[in-house]
Amino acid sequence: MKRRKFLQVFLAVATLLTAQLFAQDAKPKYIFLMIGDGMGVTQIAAASKYLDLTQPDAGGLLWEKFPVKGLTTTHPAATDKITDSAAAATAIACGVKTKNGMIGMTADNTAHRSVAYAAKDKGMKVAIITSVGINHATPAAFYSTRMSRGMYNEIGLDIASSAFDFFAGEPLLGKKPDEGRAAIKSAGYTIVNDREKIINYQPQGKTLIEHPIPYRVDAKEDSLRLTDFMRAGLKSLSDSEKGFFCMVEAGKIDWMGHANDIASSIGEVLDLNDTMAVVYDFYKKHPRETLIVVTGDHETGGMSFNFTANFDPKRFVAAVDGQKYSSTVLAGHLKGWRKEKLSNDEIIKRCLDAFGLSDVTPEEQAKLKKNVGERALLTVCQNMVAQRCGVTWTSFNHSSASVKTTAIGPGSELFAGDTDNTDIAKNIFKLLN
């Protein structure tokens, strides 16, 4: 009995030591941090279900198969508050809690360096890639330290001083984007904004790519996608002898959560999956050296997705596929129709057609009529789509729900189980040490 006990203890210690040894060895050379803005657990679940139903052979959302999984809390410095993207990005990038609105700084106005700068210090290349404005809150927290996310001009200038290797996103936001561009150019960056040149990107030193990316549901055949930015980024990064750090944000999932637009939200999550496919191809070539971490900065819309007894998969897919435009584009159309002084019946007819809604109940018809003069008409339609998808929205804002974090590759075990968003940066700092 004693001998058996000894053996058990010996084995336990040996296993621990081996794990420790591997953990020490397991320092990634290539790090991808992928963030779905506004991507909560339910946004993933709905997109995952849609993908499984429409492309059963596709193998599902790539990051759902990653071996390491956990839930991550997202609150800002005040634990009773709900985070915005600036405080969440600061936590994920720098490992510190701050007040909503602040970029790379704590509430006492102390600036904090991000994991991207830590990677740069090690001689690694750095890329910041997003489907929204390149100086928007989430990407900004990786290269900028500012009191407010609204300081777009100043944040743009911080691109110039970052010395990071590659930036790609929608055009610079703010009142004076050209001032930012001038500073970025004089810091030695090439600015690329031509579609062909982005698709056929040839690395040419420090680069800023600026180009609009439409919502997936609005995209035309020749629209640029986040995947195009990703491919260009990899061309710029892969020659780095000391490895690289690459932050990729799918930034518009959040906006479709604010709009309570489920069909467009699913499209944006699928877009992140397409981008992940490009990253995962790289991983497959360098599995022992590549770490991929996927997370959300917060959930948006207080969305629930219920597989109740009356969830109808066919109705769900038809509702998602039926919607022809994002709610953002439709808001523009609606304004136009009103300017044209179309009749209320015609406006309702066009809305229903744009959302692909045909099976309208008398109650829904009454709601449409009641709201025909308002922007809320679109919300009524979106809720009709949501109802057919088994989705309920409970807010137009962010929620305090935890988000899902998944990871694969060397160092991924650090991200397992229950974590806080600051742990993501803390773990990456550890791996860069």
* 249 part of the interface to Zn ion, by CB under 5 A: no
> CB of 77 within 8 A of CB of 99?
yes
Which of 154/254 has CB closer to Zn ion? 254
d(CA 405, CA 418): 9
Collapsed DSSP state (helix, strand, coil) of residue 280: helix
Calculate ∠ Cα 170-176-181, nearest 5°. 60
- Minimum gap (Å) between residue 88 Cβ and Zn ion: 9
Choice between 249 and 254, CB closer to Zn ion: 254
Q: Apex CA 140: angle with CA 426 and CA 413, to 5°?
A: 25
Task: Give the count of beta carbons closer than 10 Å to the beta carbon of residue 408.
Answer: 21
Confirm if 376 and 260 have CB atoms less than 8 A apart: no
Which tokens belong to 292?
Answer: 């991929």
Residue from 170, 254, 271, 297 binding Zn ion (CB under 5 A): 254
Whole-number Å distance between alpha carbons of 27 and 412: 10
H or E stretch including 126? strand 125-133
Instruction: For Zn ion, give the closer residue by CB, 232 or 262.
Output: 262
Least distance (Å) between residue 142 CB and Zn ion: 18
- 108 burial (CB, 10 Å; 0-12 / 13-18 / 19+) is exposed
C-beta of 54: minimal distance to Zn ion in Å? 27
The nearest distance, CB 397 to Zn ion, in angstroms, is 8
Site string for Zn ion, 139-178 (x = CB under 5 A): ----------------------------------------
C-alpha to C-alpha distances, 261 to 22, 128, 301, 327, nearest whole angstrom:
45, 27, 9, 7
For CA atoms 376, 174, 146, 137, the dihedral sign is positive
DSSP 3-state percent helix, strand, coil across the chain (nearest 5): 50, 15, 35
Q: How far is the CB of 301 from Zn ion (least distance, A)?
A: 9
Let me know how long the chain is.
433
Stretch that binds Zn ion, among 164-172, 248-256, 333-341, 409-417 (CB under 5 A): 248-256
Span from 250-258, 260-268, 312-320, 356-364 in contact with Zn ion (CB under 5 A): 250-258
Judge contact between 102 and 148, C-beta under 8 A. yes
Find the part of the chain contacting Zn ion (CB under 5 A) among 19-27, 134-142, 252-260, 360-368: 252-260
Please work out the total of residues on this chain that contact Zn ion, with binding judged by CB under 5 A: 1
Identity of the residue, 85 or 114, whose beta carbon is nearer to Zn ion in the bound complex: 85
Return the number of the residue (82 or 414) whose C-beta is nearest Zn ion. 82
Q: Which two tokens stand for residue 309?
A: 């007894």
At its nearest, how many Å lie between Zn ion and the CB of residue 91?
A: 15
Q: How far is the CB of 395 from Zn ion (least distance, A)?
A: 11
Closest residue to Zn ion using C-beta atoms: 254
Sign of CA dihedral 341, 347, 351, 354: negative
Question: 196 is written with which tokens?
Answer: 């062909």
Smallest gap from Cβ 132 to Zn ion, in A, equals: 10
- As measured in angstroms, the least distance from the Cβ of 31 to Zn ion is 25
Contact map string, positions 320 to 359, toward Zn ion, x by CB under 5 A = ----------------------------------------
Q: Which stretch binds Zn ion (CB under 5 A): 97-105, 230-238, 246-254, 301-309?
A: 246-254
**Residue span binding Zn ion (CB under 5 A) among the ranges 70-78, 183-191, 249-257, 375-383:** 249-257
Cβ neighbours, 10 Å, residue 167: 28
- Nearer Cβ to Zn ion, position 170 or 254? 254
Binding site for Zn ion (CB under 5 A): 254
